[in-house]
């Protein structure tokens, strides 16, 4: 614990019209340190990052680099000061090659003033090598996986001699192996004396990587501790301002009849044959690695994609699901993987986002009936405790957790028999997670058959009565709540369990 | 309840916000501009013209403006729906010619006036249906489909008339263009009627909500059980029917079927929609604001005419005003983000 800090922010405040985003917070980063920054959505993490990136300037307070006060008033200035921010939404030109992206804005030129292609390529190879990335510099960036793109962006930051690197939810869209690769790289950058600000909702990662953990809540600094001095439970209670006893809210449930059954279900291109049964009042977890076919199965069971093989039976009656409307008419709902891309109408009101699945029920001869809409919407907003100023507020202005509740409300309103949830708590803060788990538990107790696709292993283990593990488009194993562990799920997911038989 | 409700998410929202219209929540400039800016531009424009242009501020001239605006406003109202779904309809100008010619042909063929009117509207609607089917079911880009429509419909108009105006001095439905209803020119009444109906459709019907949903997020609309393609077909059909009505009014006004009728009208209609603040990205906008957009164009043209500004300059000024209005609009969005 020695050495002067690389970066020091002291008493920093920032207000936006009507909102105090940060109030007198302090933050410090030492060379060779990974400093995790945690907090719920809206705690002020993004505002802090944007100050480092030169997007916002603080209203008051100071920023120092190597003990010298600095003003970070533009992204260019941030880069000059050696600060690089890797955002959740990556900042690359997808139609250009890796090499071109790495050199963006400082392309090497030959003596005619034209782009020097061979040098561009050589430099790219060297830059990629520094971060241990095995990527062909001629590949177009848009063709790379998200993890690879992230590597390219880190390579660019490292090449520009960044000393402060901010990683904002870097693993949110990475596969398991990509995550491991990132962790190795983080260690390497730490060893070189860079300072890393690491933002993540995933406690395991924070405990694996961070030297210190700082927690913000409601725009204020709450705590900074060394990793050894603070338990995950303490971090969570710092984040939400109260204690959590039972995060997953799973109560005793008594599964009933089989509601939905799939036999030999497949999409004709790599997924299937899949056999599965969902019972009334049961929560089934669908686990597996990214690309194992979990999302595809959920979409087939809803009718989002038509099944090419096999059959689906609802209450022992065969049904054909050719499109989402068929799914809805049969009492099946799907909360899709990506909230903003696949579920929400961001510029429409909370009200419209909820009634959209039941427009036929709230209209007569195509004319909307206000009282029926209000009743339907109010019921969901109240039972789900959606925090919005009114049902007419645009969904864009809600937090991630409240947006997800609006999507849930849309499906609860059709009173489904089967609800399929694909990554229902992704990008949602821990308080809202807990509420979503309670909603899932409530649904199961009301007799709904619930299938939850999730990459978050503790979540799957915590909420499911039964866990199905997928691998290579098929169900590779089934585990009961009591026998399932992270290890047993991973063994099935990676195929080790089957190979042993 | 936990204490972590955020100030940013709990500011009061404006009363009576509707899909695509509920925007900022603070009574600041951006918000005021959002709700009333375009109306302010219209009022400002009227005030300016009242000072500069002789005889501008008279009832007669007000009717002149409204009548001259009516065809564009009707086209623009239909275009609003199309643009709300992230589409575009470049064929409406040519459609005006064809449907007007068909209405005149029906008259010269001995049909009663009502049949001519309905026939013209129906022809417009059918070409809208064709556009919609190609866009929705073959997933062709709307720009290309309707660019083709612009061309082949113009060809059809020439073919039907042999390239000559089809004059009908005794046109039975000429009051559609030149008549008055309760002292108000009939085209103006029709314009208000179309806008009222489409306002109601967008605001108070299931179809209207589906239009906003599809424009806001087509994939989410599909996954929410909306029949996206069928809704799109109906949107283009409505746009075509508006063009058909505009064609009937045009032919009634000039008492003939003109093969050159409606040239570049599609551009004026798009300009009115965009001036009204409808996003070309879809999902945001209203018909009533499109009507104001059309009025701005109408007032400007009329005022410039009264001031005897040479035609070439009129075009330059009109174009500049459109770009300026949209620039202000996007500047506001840029400042907010």
Question: Closest Cα partner for A15 from A64, A51, A65, A69?
Answer: A51
Is residue A487 domain-shared with residue A426, that is, in the same domain?
yes
Q: What's the total number of domains in chain B?
A: 1
Q: Give percent of chain B with pLDDT exceeding 70.
A: 88
Is residue A145 domain-shared with residue A208, that is, in the same domain?
yes
Q: What's residue A179's pLDDT?
A: 85
How many whole angstroms from its chain centre is CA B85? 14
Stretch 281-300 of chain A: residues touching chain B, C-beta under 8 Å: none
CB contact under 8 A, B217 and A345: yes
- Name the residue range of residue A367's domain: 346-414
- Name the residue range of residue B146's domain: 58-336
Across B16-40, average pLDDT: 57
- Residue A115 DSSP class: B
CATH number, domain with residue A146: 3.40.50.300
Angle at Cα B1 formed by Cα A445 and Cα A411, nearest 5°?
Answer: 45
Q: What's residue A18's pLDDT?
A: 64
How many whole angstroms from its chain centre is CA A90? 14
**The last residue of a domain, from among A219, A240, A261:** A240
Q: In whole angstroms, what is the distance from residue A286 CA to residue A451 CA?
A: 7
* Mutate which: B225, B229, B283, B333, vs A, most A CBs within 10 A: B225
Residues of A in Cβ contact (< 8 Å) with B28: 17
Stretches in chain A below the pLDDT threshold 70: 1-3, 18, 242-245, 497-501
Q: Which residue in B8, B13, B219 is closest to A342 by CB distance?
A: B219
Q: Which residue in A324, A385, A389 is closest to B225 by CB distance?
A: A324
- Residue B103 and residue B114 in contact, taking contact as beta carbons nearer than 8 Å: no
Asked if residue B11 has pLDDT above 60, the reply is no
Q: What's residue A383's pLDDT?
A: 92
Across B318-324, average pLDDT: 87
Look up residue A277 and give its two tokens: 């049964």
In a domain, B299, yes or no: yes
ipTM value, please give it. Answer: 0.85
Q: Which residue in B205, B221, B283 is closest to A368 by CB distance?
A: B205
The CA distance from B8 to the nearest CA of chain A, in Å, is: 6
Q: What's residue B27's pLDDT?
A: 53
Bridge partners (DSSP) of residue A224 are: A214
- Residue A36 and residue A212 in contact, taking contact as beta carbons nearer than 8 Å: yes
Tell me the pLDDT tens digit for each residue of B145-202. 999 999 999 999 999 999 999 999 899 999 999 999 999 999 999 999 999 999 999 9
**The last residue of a domain, from among A224, A240, A256:** A240
Give the number of residues written for chain B. 337
Q: Which position has the token pair 């699945």? A: A357
Look up residue A139 and give its two tokens: 């590949």
User: A360 — contact with chain B (CB < 8 Å)?
Assistant: yes
Q: What's residue B145's pLDDT?
A: 97
Q: Which position has the token pair 């505009």? A: B246
Q: In whole angstroms, what is the distance from residue A99 CA to residue B214 CA?
A: 38
Is residue A466 domain-shared with residue A404, that is, in the same domain?
no
Is residue A188 domain-shared with residue A93, that is, in the same domain?
yes
Strands A367-368, A220-226: pairing is: unpaired
Q: In whole angstroms, what is the distance from residue A221 CA to residue B35 CA?
A: 38
3-state secondary structure of B158: helix
Angle at Cα B164 formed by Cα B159 and Cα B167, nearest 5°?
Answer: 115
Is residue A421 domain-shared with residue A408, that is, in the same domain?
no
User: B177 — contact with chain A (CB < 8 Å)?
Assistant: no
Tell me the pLDDT tens digit for each residue of A338-354. 899 999 999 999 999 99
Sheet (strand A220-226) strand order: A83-86, A164-168, A195-199, A34-38, A212-217, A220-226
Q: In whole angstroms, what is the distance from residue B264 CA to residue B84 CA?
A: 21
């Amino acid at each position: 614990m020695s050495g002067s800090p690389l970066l020091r922010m002291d008493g920093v405040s920032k207000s936006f019209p009507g909102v105090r985003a940060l109030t007198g917070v302090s933050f410090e980063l030492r060379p060779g340190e990974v400093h995790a920054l945690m907090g719920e959505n809206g705690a002020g993490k993004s505002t802090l990052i944007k100050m480092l990136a030169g997007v916002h300037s603080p209203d008051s307070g100071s920023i120092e680099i190597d003990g010298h006060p600095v003003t970070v008033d533009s992204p260019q200035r941030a880069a000059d000061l050696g600060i690089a921010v890797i955002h959740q939404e990556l900042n690359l030109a997808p139609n250009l090659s890796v090499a071109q992206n790495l050199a963006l804005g400082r392309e090497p030129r030959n003596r005619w003033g034209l782009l020097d292609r061979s040098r561009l390529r050589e430099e790219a190879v060297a830059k990629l090598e520094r971060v241990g990335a095995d990527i062909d510099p001629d590949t177009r960036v848009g063709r790379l996986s998200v993890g690879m793109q992230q590597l390219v962006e880190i390579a660019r930051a490292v090449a520009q001699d960044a000393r402060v690197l901010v990683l904002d939810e870097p693993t949110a869209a990475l596969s398991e192996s990509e995550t491991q690769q990132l962790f190795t790289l983080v260690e390497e950058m730490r060893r070189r004396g860079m300072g890393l600000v690491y933002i993540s909702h995933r406690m395991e990662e924070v405990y694996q990587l961070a030297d210190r953990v700082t927690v913000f809540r409601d725009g204020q600094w709450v705590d900074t501790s060394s990793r050894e001095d603070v338990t995950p439970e303490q971090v969570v209670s710092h984040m939400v301002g109260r204690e959590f006893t039972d995060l997953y809210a799973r109560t005793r449930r008594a599964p009933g009849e089989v509601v939905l059954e799939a036999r030999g279900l497949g999409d004709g291109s790599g997924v299937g044959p899949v056999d599965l049964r969902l019972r009334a009042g049961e929560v089934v977890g669908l686990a597996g690695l990214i690309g194992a076919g979990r999302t595809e199965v959920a979409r087939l069971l809803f009718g989002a994609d038509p099944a090419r093989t096999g059959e689906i039976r609802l209450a022992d009656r065969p049904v054909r699901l050719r499109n989402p409307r068929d799914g809805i008419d049969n009492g099946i709902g799907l909360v899709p993987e990506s909230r903003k891309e696949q579920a929400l109408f961001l510029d429409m009101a909370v009200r419209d986002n909820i009634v959209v699945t039941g427009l036929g029920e709230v209209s007569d001869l195509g004319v909307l009936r206000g009282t029926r809409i209000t009743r339907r919407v109010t019921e969901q907003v109240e039972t789900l405790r959606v925090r919005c100023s009114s049902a007419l507020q645009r969904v864009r202005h809600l937090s991630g957790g409240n947006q997800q509740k609006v999507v849930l409300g849309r499906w609860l309103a059709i009173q489904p028999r089967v609800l399929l949830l694909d990554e229902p708590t992704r990008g949602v803060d821990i308080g809202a997670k807990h509420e979503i788990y309670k909603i899932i538990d409530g649904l199961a107790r009301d007799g709904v058959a619930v299938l939850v696709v999730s990459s978050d292993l503790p979540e799957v283990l915590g909420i499911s009565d039964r866990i199905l593990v997928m691998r290579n488009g098929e169900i590779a194993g089934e585990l009961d709540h009591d026998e399932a562990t992270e290890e047993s799920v991973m063994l099935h997911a990676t195929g080790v369990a089957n190979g042993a038989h | 309840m936990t204490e972590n409700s955020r100030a940013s998410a709990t500011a009061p929202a404006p009363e009576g916000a509707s899909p695509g219209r509920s925007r900022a929540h603070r009574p600041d400039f951006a918000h005021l501009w959002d709700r009333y800016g375009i109306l302010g531009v219209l009022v400002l424009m009227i005030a300016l013209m009242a000072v500069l242009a002789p005889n501008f501020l008279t009832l007669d001239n007000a009717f002149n403006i409204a009548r001259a605006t009516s065809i564009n406003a009707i086209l623009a109202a239909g275009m609003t729906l199309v643009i709300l779904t992230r589409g575009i309809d470049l064929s409406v100008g040519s459609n005006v010619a064809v449907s007007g010619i068909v209405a005149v042909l029906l008259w010269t063929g001995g049909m009663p006036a009502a049949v001519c009117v309905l026939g013209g509207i129906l022809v417009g609607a059918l070409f809208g249906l064709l556009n919609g089917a190609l866009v929705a079911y073959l997933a062709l880009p709307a720009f290309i489909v309707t660019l083709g429509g612009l061309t082949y419909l113009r060809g059809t108009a020439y073919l039907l008339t042999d390239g000559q105006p089809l004059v009908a001095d005794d046109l039975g439905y000429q009051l559609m263009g030149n008549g008055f209803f309760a002292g108000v020119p009939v085209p103006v009444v029709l314009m208000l009627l179309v806008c009222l109906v489409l306002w109601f459709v967008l605001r108070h019907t299931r179809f209207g909500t589906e239009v906003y949903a599809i424009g806001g997020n087509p994939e989410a609309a599909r996954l929410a059980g909306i029949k996206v393609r069928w809704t799109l077909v109906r949107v283009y059909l409505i746009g075509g029917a508006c063009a058909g009505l505009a064609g009937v009014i045009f032919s009634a006004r000039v008492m003939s079927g003109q093969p050159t009728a409606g040239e570049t009208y599609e551009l004026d209609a798009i300009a009115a929609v965009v001036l009204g603040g409808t996003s070309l990205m879809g999902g945001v906008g209203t018909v009533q604001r499109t009507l104001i957009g059309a009025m701005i164009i109408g007032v400007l043209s009329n005022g410039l005419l009264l001031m005897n500004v040479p035609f070439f300059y009129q075009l330059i000024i009109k174009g500049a005003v459109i770009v300026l209005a949209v620039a202000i609009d996007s500047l506001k969005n840029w400042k907010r983000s």
